[in-house]
């Protein structure tokens, strides 16, 4: 097992390099960039934004780059739309501020060097470091992802077991219909429906529409803070979880059905054991193997769950909205930092899931298979 873990860890290095390289190359061909964004703000007479950018918050820590320096006799002002009439020295200062005075390959190598030590630099357009910005947005994503995961497992597993025990009955048919319809409904569409029904739309005004807490949250008692927090989570969690039950529920059902039909279950019944004893004494551990093994990955991933549409609809400023705004604004340090963190986290979660299989069932041996 140690050799398997070492191989998996070593394979993470080229995988991360490949992800970052492909993303970096794609960005090079994407139109626009932070320099062009500043120039557009200048041409649009956005005085406040221009003054903020000119103050200098950028750097080369993780700058991906959407515009590369060109050689030859081409005027520097001709490389950017909206640069006509501006001092070329000012544009050179912008390029240096954002790190675009270096060739693309140097920017990429410098980004990798910084990312190895988790130095993600500063956001281009926010006066804050990238890591602090991610930590600032994470509570929203943690709240949404963690509660959705817990709620999904708490409902899906008992429901899946019940469906397996009543396979083919009317209960199994109508619950399957409900689960599949819920899976087919887009979460954002269900969110709009919930707002119309319960958040001051055309019917009831029961739940709040925006934020994780109320404006007077600091003045509330500790128990009122908990209730207020949960009160704000009801609608967004319901919108996210509407489609989260289907996979786990049907997976649980099918896993239990496979085990119930095996010979050892028939032997246990022949010995006079009750259905409850057979189910929870013999079937449960084997049937729950695949569910339990997938829980660590789902649990860890929940801390970084970001849903752009749900966060936008309910005015929640989380990682999903941050990633979208960073791409639109060409804030490359934030874009590449989040990509790096999420990719690394995904690889680690996959390894943890595999190790959980061996912990739940020691008969599984990854040493005997090719990585």
Using a 10 angstrom Cβ sphere, with 0-12 exposed, 13-18 middle and 19 or more buried, the burial of residue 227 is exposed
- C-alpha 303/C-alpha 335 separation (Å) is 18
What is the average per-residue pLDDT within 255-274?
A: 85
Q: What is the pLDDT of residue 174?
A: 92
What is the average per-residue pLDDT within 334-347?
A: 86
**Count of CB atoms within 10 A of residue 54's CB?**
14
- pLDDT, tens digit, for every residue of 183-207? 888 888 888 888 888 887 677 888 8
Q: Could you tell me the CA-to-CA distances from 309 to 131, 191, 195, 313 in Å, in that order? A: 23, 9, 14, 6
Q: Which residues pair with 205 in a beta bridge?
A: 199
Of residues 44 and 128, the one with the higher pLDDT is: 128
- pLDDT, tens digit, for every residue of 129-145? 899 998 888 888 888 88
Going from N- to C-terminal start, the domains of the chain cover 130-360
At residue 300 the predicted structure's pLDDT band, cuts being 50, 70 and 90, is low
Q: What is the pLDDT of residue 170?
A: 92
- C-alpha 358/C-alpha 364 separation (Å) is 5
Q: Kindly give the interhelix angle for 332-360 and 2-29, rounded to the nearest 10 degrees.
A: 160
Q: Does domain 130-360 have CATH number 1.10.3720.10?
A: yes
Residue 84: what are its φ and ψ, rounded to 5°?
A: -65, 135
In sequence order, the 6+-apart residues with CB closer than 8 A to the CB of 148 are 237, 240, 241, 244, 302, 305
Cα dihedral: 226, 229, 233, 235 (round 10): 100
Distance of CA 171 to the CA centre of its chain: 35
Pair of tokens at residue 85: 């009439």
Q: How far apart are the first and last CA of the chain?
A: 12
Q: What is the pLDDT of residue 69?
A: 39
Taking the alpha carbons of 15, 20, 26, 28 in that order, is the dihedral positive or negative?
negative
Q: What is the pLDDT of residue 171?
A: 92
- pLDDT, tens digit, for every residue of 201-228? 677 888 888 888 888 888 888 888 889 8
- DSSP for 34-100? HHHHHHHHHHTT-HHHHHHHHT----SSS---SS----TT--GGGGSTT-TTS-HHHHHHHHHHHTT
Pair of tokens at residue 216: 């007077």
CA angle 96/101/107 to nearest 5° reads 105
């Amino acid at each position: 097992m140690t050799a398997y873990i070492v191989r998996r860890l070593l394979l993470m290095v080229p995988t991360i390099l490949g992800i970052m390289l492909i993303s970096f190359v794609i960005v090079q061909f994407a139109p626009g960039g932070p320099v062009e964004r500043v120039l557009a703000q200048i041409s649009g007479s956005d005085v406040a934004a221009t003054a903020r950018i000119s103050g200098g918050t950028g750097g080369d820590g993780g700058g991906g780059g959407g515009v590369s320096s060109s050689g030859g006799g081409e005027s520097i002002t001709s490389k950017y739309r909206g640069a006509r009439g501006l001092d070329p020295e000012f544009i050179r200062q912008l390029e240096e501020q954002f790190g675009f005075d270096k060739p693309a390959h140097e920017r990429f190598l410098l980004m990798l060097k910084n990312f190895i030590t988790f130095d993600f630099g500063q956001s281009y357009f926010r006066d804050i470091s990238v890591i602090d910005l991610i930590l600032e947005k994470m509570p929203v994503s943690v709240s949404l992802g963690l509660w959705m995961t817990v709620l999904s497992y708490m409902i899906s597993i008992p429901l899946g077991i019940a469906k397996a025990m009543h396979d083919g009955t009317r209960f199994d048919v109508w619950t399957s219909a409900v689960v599949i319809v819920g899976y087919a409904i887009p979460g954002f569409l269900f969110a709009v429906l919930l707002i119309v029904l319960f958040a001051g739309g055309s019917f009831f005004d029961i739940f709040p529409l925006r934020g994780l807490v109320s404006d007077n949250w600091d003045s509330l008692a500790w128990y009122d803070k908990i209730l207020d927090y949960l009160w704000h989570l009801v609608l967004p969690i319901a919108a996210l979880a509407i489609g989260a039950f289907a996979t786990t529920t049907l997976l649980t059902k099918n896993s239990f059905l496979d085990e119930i039909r095996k010979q050892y279950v028939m032997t246990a019944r022949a010995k006079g054991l009750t259905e409850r004893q057979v189910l929870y004494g013999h079937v449960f551990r084997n049937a729950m193997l695949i569910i339990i093994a997938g829980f660590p990955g789902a649990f860890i991933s929940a801390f970084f769950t970001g849903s752009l549409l749900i966060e936008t609809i309910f005015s929640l400023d989380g990682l999903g909205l941050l990633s979208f705004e960073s791409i639109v604004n060409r804030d490359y340090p934030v874009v590449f930092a989040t990509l790096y963190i999420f990719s690394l986290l995904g690889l680690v979660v996959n390894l943890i899931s595999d190790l959980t299989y061996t912990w739940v069932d020691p008969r599984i041996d990854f040493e005997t298979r090719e990585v």
